[in-house]
Amino acid sequence: MNIVILAAGQGKRMHSNLPKVLHPVAGKALVAHVIDTARHLSPQTLCLVYGHGGDAVRSTLDAPDLTWALQEPQLGTGHAVQQALPYLKGNGTTLILYGDVPLIQTETLKRLLHAAQDALAILTVELADPSGYGRIVRNDARQVVRIVEEKDSTVEERRIHEINTGIMAMPTARLSEWLGRLSNNNAQKEYYLTDIVGMAVEAGLPLRTANPKFEWEVLGVNSKVQLAELERIAQRSNAEQLMEQGVRLADPARLDVRGELVCGRDVYIDVNCVFEGKVVLDEAVEVGPNCVLKNACIGAGTRLAAFTHIEDAVVGPDGMIGPFARLRPGTELAEDVHIGNFVEVKKSRIAAHSKINHLAYIGDAIIGSRVNVGAGTITCNYDGANKFQTIIEDDAFIGSDTQLVAPVTVGRGATLGAGTTLTKDAPPDTLTISRAKQISITGWKRPVKTKK
């Protein structure tokens, strides 16, 4: 079986420098959705027809299992498939997909392929408003006899609601024979793939139609408005899948998954959260409102409070993060770690039961277990040229408003007095403090305003 994905169309109505098929839906390029769905069918050949200005398409998507056929200029859907013909294998079936119809489902394609054994099978749908589409013309016996493009149609044909989705499958040998006979004698002066329908009828080959389970599977993208519509459909369908797996969503309409979200049992997600890349939420994780998580793993029972932002980080089980916490790349938190409001952590490992609850910056640090980091603590990890490491050993207590000038180590069980600027290692089990001596001046008078 061969699959050909047509992706050479210009997409003028997107008004964008980005090729149409590279625009994202649910965090993935339109055509990448189609490629992934095609891969589920394990084709022998997976050929992409790409067009003028399409080098970006090829370089963005290239993979060892893809074959590329350049179509330049673009002279219609039939001409597009002609370009793929030299790469198609064997006597089996060829399936034609569109790169700008991203939500087509594997199950629907399996049904279409089943119908295409020794037949031309067309995926059709009845639309309330069929305008713009090619119409399926049937005879009195309800057999398909041809597809007529709207621009070539009569007033009567325009009343037909059954449309050609463009997705079809047929015996490869027949396809190659028919493509050679296409002409561009029509309103658009294009080589129409749809003209093969008449040829199949003429050759006495059975014509069969299949329908998608959902109408949205065959919606295409021609504009930013349609792109946004498909985004909502994709998100809704994804939210439903998550709920069916047992995830509790405060509002399925206010969840955005732009990648892959894997959830354990009894996960709860509040409104307006965005998940990018691959995110794993283990059992009973709770995500508060307005959190953004990208490429992150969150351990069982951890609670992320509102406005938490996490990227390329691992959070252990039973943690409490946020509100307003930021975990940057390279952060690894063990179990029961508390990261509070306005705390930023970067490229740091924090061991079990440690707490950094208020207003702190922890960068390039290794922090042991049961450490308490006071409010306003800052690791001074950067001298303007290089980055240095801070090590805080188990059971240390860091007083508020401390600066740890790296490289520096705080020993096990050490205490740093509030306001310390630590420039040398702090010994274990000892109070270290750097602070100007406090004095009180008796008899001191506040200045008063001088009279003019």
Active site residues: 358
192 contributes a contact to ligand UD1 by CB under 6 A: yes
* Residue number with CB closer to ligand UD1 (146 or 353): 146
Rounded Cα–Cα distance for residues 329 and 312 (Å) = 4
Given candidates 19, 54, 220, 411, which one binds ligand UD1 under the rule CB under 6 A? 220
Given candidates 29, 43, 98, 422, which one binds ligand UD1 under the rule CB under 6 A? 98
Q: Is the peptide bond before 407 cis (omega within 30 degrees of 0)?
A: yes
The CB-of-125 to ligand UD1 minimum distance in angstroms stands at 10
95 contributes a contact to ligand UD1 by CB under 6 A: no
Q: In this structure, are strands 24-25 and 28-29 parallel, antiparallel, or unpaired? A: antiparallel
Binding window for ligand UD1 (CB under 6 A); candidates: 189-197, 274-282, 286-294, 301-309: 189-197
Query: Hey, what are 282's tokens?
Result: 């283990």
Total residues found in the chain within this entry: 452
Q: Quickly list DSSP for 142-208.
A: S-EEEEE-GGG--TTGGG--EEEEEEEEEEHHHHHHHHTT----STT----GGGHHHHHHHTT--EE
The amino acid at residue 327 is: L
102 contributes a contact to ligand UD1 by CB under 6 A: no
Q: Which of residues 127-156 bind ligand UD1 (CB under 6 A)?
A: 133-134, 147, 149
Lay out the site mask for ligand UD1 across 24-63 (x = CB under 6 A, - = otherwise): -------------------------x--------------
Lay out the site mask for ligand UD1 across 155-174 (x = CB under 6 A, - = otherwise): --------xxxx--------
Size of the site for ligand UD1 (CB under 6 A): 27
Backbone angles phi, psi at 44, to 5 degrees: -70, -40
The amino acid at residue 106 is: T
* Residue number with CB closer to ligand UD1 (82 or 420): 82
| Residue 11: exposure state from Cβ atoms within 10 A (0-12, 13-18, ≥19) | buried
The CB-of-149 to ligand UD1 minimum distance in angstroms stands at 5
* Residue number with CB closer to ligand UD1 (75 or 392): 75
Q: Quickly list DSSP for 75-119.
A: --HHHHHHHHGGG--SSSEEEEEETT-TT--HHHHHHHHHHTTTS
Lay out the site mask for ligand UD1 across 304-333 (x = CB under 6 A, - = otherwise): ------------------------------
Q: Is 242 helix (H, G, I), strand (E, B) or coil?
A: helix
Q: Give, in order, the Cα–Cα distances in Å from 333 to each of 65, 372, 397.
A: 39, 14, 18
Query: Hey, what are 155's tokens?
Result: 């007033």
The CB-of-114 to ligand UD1 minimum distance in angstroms stands at 22
The CB-of-95 to ligand UD1 minimum distance in angstroms stands at 14
Contact footprint for ligand UD1 (CB under 6 A) = 6-9, 49, 71, 74-77, 79-80, 98-100, 133-134, 147, 149, 163-166, 192-194, 220
